[in-house]
Chains A and B, each alone.
Chain A
Amino acid sequence: MAGTTLGGLAPGDHVCVLHGGLVGRSGVLEAFILPALDSGDKVICRIARVAPAVVAEALEAADGRAREALRSGQFVITGARESYLPSGAFDPERVIDAWREELDRIREDGYPGMRVVGDMSWAADPVPGTERLAWYEAEVNRVFVAGFACVVCLYDRSTFSPARLRQYIQAHPGTIEPGVPRIPQLRLRYTSDPRGLAIAGEADIANRTALAAVLAGLPHDAPGDGPLTIDVSGLTFADVGTAAALLRCTREIPQLRLTGLSPYLSDLLDMVAQAT
């Protein structure tokens, strides 16, 4: 799978990895987990379909570094159902709150960062609440954009309808497909000076709801208080929907400033502003 791409992920990234079954998952260990263990990050794997103990045992046998980390608690393997469905149903607000607490705890424990692998195949089962998974995936960006955690969500192409898969893709800033090695399309990061958000990469339908959720939450989520700035100097492509979303922010959030506009983006915003 796209191992080099996984290796290029950074804190603050939240990507959807589309795969075709067990074979696809094997690259995650070498490209994503072992390097993180080497740099001292906390690593959490939430796996489905296989018992955590079975996976842990196999990893311990296969790799000394993984064995050591599993024993020290740096590397934790849990069942996805227990993590995402503690009550048996999917309760997105509760899962998001749990993420906030977990991130705080791991920071307090002194880890420099954190990597998460979540196998989302449980969502293909008839679980109450899964109809809100796309909303959750978009909304949880508001936690991850803070930049400490790097999160990979595994979606098995064969278990979701194309329409559902599309919703999940749009809720992630980046999507990685086998054989398409490139960095995540979009990177979103809160900034403290100036207070606001930095947007880099390409924004379009493939990450529409992820960006929308982060923009909508910005006045509440950005660190500190005072006027907000959205830095788009790293935004190499924006489609009309993105331009409309940015315009909406400038109209609805008082004192919001857009900085780093390229001539291209500036023209596009003018065109969309005339029309809306």
Chain B
Amino acid sequence: MRAGAAAGHRGHFHETAFYGSDEEFLAVVAPFFTEGLAVGEPIISAFAPHNQSIVRSVFGGRAGILFADAGAHYASPATAIRRYSGLLADYVAAGAAQVRLAGDVPHPGLGAPWDWWGRYEAAVNRVWDDFPVWGLCPYDTRTTPGDVLDEVRRTHPRIATTAGQHHANPDFVPPEDFMRDRAWSWRDPVEDTEPLAYLTDPAPATVRATVVATAPAAGVPANDVRGMTLAATEAVTNAIVHGVPPVEVRVWAAPGRIVVAVTDHGPGLSDPLAGLRPTGAATGGLGLWVAHQVCAFVSMQHRDGAFTVRLVAGRPHP
């Protein structure tokens, strides 16, 4: 039997909350943890350092809370899904009636670009629906950009308030609709400059050679460059095999990062899980999923009849 507001719910009880101070943060998170501790439900706390220290000052040392390293868990959405799925499966196998999971999802206010985290917030409604998990994703209204908050409202079916209420969110839309109607248009600022290379219908080997040639100018670690050659190969392969020509590849280098944009003129992918889970192997899903793990950032954009996958190696610009 699941305790609290999620009692009787099947699957992922996915809730957001909006707070504007440390006190409001605690007003949302403290009861969530206290209630779980009282009934022995496992708790995962995966906040960024500031919020994690607030939680620790209240609950530090309490058995029953796993303080997870947010940096490692939220390295990328594909990593987060993989790691949490493993933890959830372990807790459920050990007999947990419900797992409580709360953390800081990265966004520009926390120094990371948003795009793929928006897809993550939509996708986890499906991905964890096999688990009795209550996911709480509080967002700080002082630091979270407005367009991110808009997407948070569209991806969480439930809202917790600082007054201790839990109610359904009227702005929520199913993940498939969210992906289809999404207007998000992240661009790296380096895209305003002339690309180092502009290739039309290139062979993947040519794209790899181009990426390797840009590495010295960017000063990106060799392993990240290697990851980019793989990710760019997969994006170009998907565009060749599943997209509509011409396939256009642009490559930029900025201090600390390489940016590759692969555009084709097909409908692209609308599966909200694309890239986040190894789904749709027949339609390039596996390559995209690997790209999401080896890159520092991946965004996907549908615009004007074109589909663009942007890949970043090194340190992404928020």
A239 touches which of B237, B245, B278 (Cβ 8 Å):
B237
Q: How many residues of B contact A (CB 8 A)?
A: 21
- Chain B, residue nearest A240 (CB): B287
- Chain A, residue nearest B227 (CB): A264
Give the residue among A185, A202, A272, A275 with the most B Cβ atoms within 10 A.
A275
**Which residues does chain A contribute within 8 Å of B240, judged by CB atoms?**
166, 205
Q: Are A276 and B286 in contact (CB under 8 A)?
A: yes
A180 to B229, CA, bound (A): 19
From residue B1, how far is it (CB to closest CB) to chain A in Å? Answer: 33
A198 to B141, CA, bound (A): 58
- Chain A, residue nearest B208 (CB): A237
A272 touches which of B229, B237, B286 (Cβ 8 Å):
B286
Q: Are B278 and A206 in contact (CB under 8 A)?
A: no
A245 is an interface residue with CB less than 8 A from chain B: no
Considering the complex, which residues of chain B in the window 202-260 have a beta carbon less than 8 Å from any beta carbon of chain A? 203-206, 208, 226, 229-230, 233-234, 237, 240-241, 245
A64 is an interface residue with CB less than 8 A from chain B: no
A215 to B26, CA, bound (A): 59
Q: Are A271 and B293 in contact (CB under 8 A)?
A: yes
B70 is an interface residue with CB less than 8 A from chain A: no
- Chain B, residue nearest A169 (CB): B203
A237 to B212, CA, bound (A): 13
A241 touches which of B205, B226, B287, B293 (Cβ 8 Å):
B287
Q: Are B237 and A241 in contact (CB under 8 A)?
A: yes
**Which residues does chain A contribute within 8 Å of B245, judged by CB atoms?**
162
A244 is an interface residue with CB less than 8 A from chain B: yes
**Which residues does chain A contribute within 8 Å of B206, judged by CB atoms?**
180
Q: Residues of B at under 8 Å CB distance from A? A: 203-206, 208, 226, 229-230, 233-234, 237, 240-241, 245, 278, 281, 286-287, 289-290, 293
A205 touches which of B226, B241, B289, B293 (Cβ 8 Å):
B241
Knowing A237-B229, A239-B204, A276-B281 touch, does A268 contact B237 (C-beta < 8 A)?
no
Knowing A239-B287, A264-B226, A268-B290 touch, does A205 contact B208 (C-beta < 8 A)?
no
Contact with B along A165-176 (1 / 0, CB 8 A): 010000000010
**Which residues does chain A contribute within 8 Å of B241, judged by CB atoms?**
205
Knowing A162-B245, A240-B287 touch, does A276 contact B204 (C-beta < 8 A)?
no
Q: Are B286 and A204 in contact (CB under 8 A)?
A: no
From residue B213, how far is it (CB to closest CB) to chain A in Å? Answer: 14
A274 to B206, CA, bound (A): 29
Taking A180-B206, A244-B281 as known contacts, 4 extra A-B pairs with beta carbons closer than 8 A to each other, sorted by chain A number, are A237-B205, A240-B286, A268-B230, A275-B278
- Chain B, residue nearest A182 (CB): B205
**Which residues does chain A contribute within 8 Å of B205, judged by CB atoms?**
185, 202, 204, 206, 237
Q: Residues of A at under 8 Å CB distance from B? A: 162, 166, 175, 180, 185, 202, 204-206, 237, 239-241, 244, 264, 268, 271-272, 274-276
A272 to B245, CA, bound (A): 28
From residue B262, how far is it (CB to closest CB) to chain A in Å? Answer: 13
B230 touches which of A205, A206, A239, A274 (Cβ 8 Å):
A239
A268 to B206, CA, bound (A): 21
Knowing A205-B241, A239-B230 touch, does A272 contact B204 (C-beta < 8 A)?
no
- Chain A, residue nearest B279 (CB): A275
A12 to B233, CA, bound (A): 26
From residue B276, how far is it (CB to closest CB) to chain A in Å? Answer: 12
**Which residues does chain B contribute within 8 Å of A237, judged by CB atoms?**
205, 208, 229, 233
Knowing A271-B293, A276-B278 touch, does A205 contact B237 (C-beta < 8 A)?
yes
Give the residue among A162, A180, A237 with the most B Cβ atoms within 10 A.
A237
From residue A158, how far is it (CB to closest CB) to chain B in Å? Answer: 16
Q: Are A239 and B286 in contact (CB under 8 A)?
A: no
**Which residues does chain B contribute within 8 Å of A180, judged by CB atoms?**
206
A244 to B237, CA, bound (A): 15
From residue B208, how far is it (CB to closest CB) to chain A in Å? Answer: 7
Q: Are B286 and A206 in contact (CB under 8 A)?
A: no
Q: Are B293 and A206 in contact (CB under 8 A)?
A: no
**Which residues does chain B contribute within 8 Å of A204, judged by CB atoms?**
204-205, 233, 237
B234 touches which of A175, A185, A240 (Cβ 8 Å):
A240
Q: Are B286 and A205 in contact (CB under 8 A)?
A: no
A175 to B245, CA, bound (A): 20
**Which residues does chain B contribute within 8 Å of A202, judged by CB atoms?**
205, 208
Could you write out 16 A-B pairs with CB less than 8 Å apart? A162-B245, A180-B206, A202-B205, A202-B208, A204-B205, A205-B204, A205-B241, A237-B205, A240-B234, A240-B290, A244-B286, A268-B290, A272-B286, A275-B281, A275-B289, A276-B281
Q: Are B204 and A206 in contact (CB under 8 A)?
A: yes
Give the residue among B205, B234, B281 with the most A Cβ atoms within 10 A.
B205
From residue B263, how far is it (CB to closest CB) to chain A in Å? Answer: 18
A239 to B227, CA, bound (A): 11
**Which residues does chain B contribute within 8 Å of A268, judged by CB atoms?**
230, 290
- Chain B, residue nearest A202 (CB): B205
